[in-house]
Each structure stands twice: as C-alpha cells, then as structure tokens.
Chains A and B, each alone.
Chain A
C-alpha cells in the first residue's frame, strides 16, 4: 500500500516570497491533516480536512497560510508571504475517518527554509 506522498521534499525561499506544498494521502483516507514541526518540537496541527471540508483550522495563521482540498483527495498548503519563523518541516498525514481514536499516517514532510 502506497503511503502519504508529499512534494517538494525541500524548499529554500527568501522572506516575503510565497511557497506551496502538495500532499496526496493514502488511497481511501477521508481525513487529511497538515502539521508544522519546528526543529526540536513535536508536530503542531495547522488544519484538518474531512473530504473537502475544513474540520479544524484554529491554529492556522490565516493572514498568511491557506490550504485547500478541492476534490477530497490531494491537498495544497500555501504560505504568502513567508516569514523567517515559518522555517520548519511541514508534514501531511491522513486517516480513514473522523472520531476515533483514529491512527494518522504521516508523509515524509517538506523541509522549508526561509532566508
């Protein structure tokens, strides 16, 4: 079974530039999550989708971050404009459903460096 796919794996940008990350979840998984992991910390949830609807985006900095999952499968996360403090690994995860407890499976992540 194929796992969660993410691209790109690495990205280096200047501050105030924009960047986008892509995620394709495990086939059949209805729920998709984006987490931010700053060096030395545990992942922190940014946004959670159930199919193509948002379940939780309470910790998403909406002035600069946006995310969509238009067809209920793959998703993109965008940052515009980027700040130095956005340097982190952005992890995508997916699970079969909601409620739970549900096991989340993670992709390899995208390491973002903002200069």
Chain B
C-alpha cells in the first residue's frame, strides 16, 4: 500500500527564518510527487510536480527537491503570507491517476 508521511506536523517560524518540510514516501512505481498549499477554508492549490530523483523546482521563496525516498520543501526567508498547510501527494503508475496524500505540515510564520 502506498504511504506518505510528512514531518513535522506543525512548524512555527519567525519571518525570515528559513526551514524545510519533509515528505517521505513508500510506493511502487512513482509517477510523480506533488506539493500543494492549502489555506483555511479553501481547496489545495497546486505548487509543484517532481518526476524523478534529483529534480528540483523553485517558485518565489519555495524550492522542492526529490530523492528516491523523500522530498523536501525548502522555504527561504518566509513571510507571514506563507502561513498555510503544505500537503505532499504521490501518484503511481497505472491507468488511474489518484493522488495519495500525507497529513500535511501546518506552517505558521510570525512577524
């Protein structure tokens, strides 16, 4: 069974204090690893897709990396508006394309 584990569950940072969120996975036949951001009362918002080990993608203060067992979401010099829950999900091979999600990391960035 596909498993996705995210850590930490919650993270509080000061504005400008860089850190990383972790997503470890156990799947057979990874097709893609996805990062989403979810604000309270809203649906998940797509951030990145990573396809193969060694791949990196960046968007503003966020950088996602992928190895064969885990992915990291690095947040550089975060701002209060980066506060949200960050969800990691995997998609495996086959005809279906469902996402299996982790439980998320709740990030709070303080002034």
Contact = CB atoms under 8 A, between A and B. Distances in A.
A108 B104 CA distance: 17
11 contacts: A43-B44, A43-B101, A48-B97, A91-B43, A99-B97, A100-B91, A100-B97, A101-B34, A108-B41, A108-B43, A111-B41
Interface of A: 4, 31, 33, 40-45, 48, 55-56, 91, 93, 95, 98-109, 111
B66 interface: no
Interface stretch (B12-20, B45-53, B56-64, B70-78): B45-53
- Of B34, B100, B101, most buried by chain A (CB within 10 Å of CB) is B101
Interface residues of B, number: 26
Contacts of A4: 43
Contacts, number: 69
B103 interface: yes
B44 A91 contact: yes
A42 B46 contact: no
